[in-house]
Amino acid sequence: MNLFASAIDWILDPANYVGLNAIPLRLGQHLVFTLVTLVIASVIAIPLGYLIGHTGRGRSLAVMTSGGLRAIPTLGLLTLVALWVGIGVVAPYVALTVLAIPPILAGAYTGFEAIDRRTVDAARAVGMSELQIVRKVEVPLGLPLLIGGLRSATLQVIATATLAAYVADLGLGRYLFSGLKNRDYAEMLGGSILVILLALVLEGIFALIQRFAVPRGVSGRPGPAATPARTPRPRNRSERTAVVR
């Protein structure tokens, strides 16, 4: 496994920690890019998802759009937008925001839908206004599924941000492409290992957040680890898992 040894050497090489191509700088770019994309996508998708989840309107449209968007290859969208707006960071931002919206949207409205209707009716019966129901009942109870949606959006953005280096001088993906160009396998492999580590660390953080997002006093909620005892609509449940994961 001297290939991996040379990749580790590349990661630890002090020469890769200075200048405009330094590993911390590339890592920072990757993270900032991911964070900004997620924030933009959330600002659009969460209110829309809550509206769909609370009113129940526009659901089939949302399901169709997010299903259709999943079929669109990221690389195609990325290169097309890059041709339109030119090489630079704008194309990745546009393309990735479009890709991050469906999982967040799905997380927001499935979070509301997974709530027992009787709970919502009970809240209405004790005199809560619609806004109070959303704020005090639906948002907290739907949080685990929303975070599940954010989790898969994050993974997708981290992955596609790597690909975005194909059209922009951005993030850890640069090492993959410059290594490919210079036939430097240590650089490619080192860069790949860094991206994979980043993705796994974020996945772990989200797994923890998701665990703590369950409101106190609520148990056995149908989250990603759905309880086997609850099998009301197995078909839908698996589809939901597939979308949210």
Partner 1 sequence: MTWVLANLGLIWARTLDHVVLSLPPILLCFVIAVPLGWLARRYRVSRGIILTGAGLLYAVPSLPLFFVLPAVIGTGLRSPLNVIIALTLYGVALMVRVVSDGLDSVDADVRQSASAVGYSAWSRFWQVELPLSGPVLLAGLRVVAVSTVSLVTVGAVIGVQSLGSLFTDGFQRGIQAEIIAGLVATVGLALIFDGALVLAGRVLMPWTRKVLPAKPAVLLEGSAA
**Which residues would be at the binding site for partner 1 (CB under 8 A)?**
1, 3-4, 7, 60, 63-64, 67-68, 70-80, 82-84, 155, 158-159, 162-163, 166-167, 173, 176-177, 180, 185, 188-189, 191-193, 195-196, 199-200, 202-203, 207, 226, 228, 231, 234-239, 241-243, 245
Q: Which is nearer to partner 1, 146 or 158 (CB)?
A: 158
Quote the least distance from Cβ 166 to partner 1, whole Å. 6
Q: How far apart are CA 197 and CA 190, in angstroms?
A: 11
Q: Which is nearer to partner 1, 68 or 215 (CB)?
A: 68
Quote the least distance from Cβ 3 to partner 1, whole Å. 4
**8-state DSSP, 214:** S
Q: Which is nearer to partner 1, 139 or 189 (CB)?
A: 189
Quote the least distance from Cβ 189 to partner 1, whole Å. 6
Q: How far apart are CA 69 and CA 229, in angstroms?
A: 33
Quote the least distance from Cβ 173 to partner 1, whole Å. 7
Closest CA to 65 of 82, 45, 50: 45
Q: How far apart are CA 33 and CA 26, in angstroms?
A: 10
Alpha helices in the chain (DSSP H): 2-12, 23-55, 59-71, 74-85, 90-113, 117-125, 130-132, 139-164, 173-182, 185-212, 234-244
Q: Which is nearer to partner 1, 36 or 199 (CB)?
A: 199
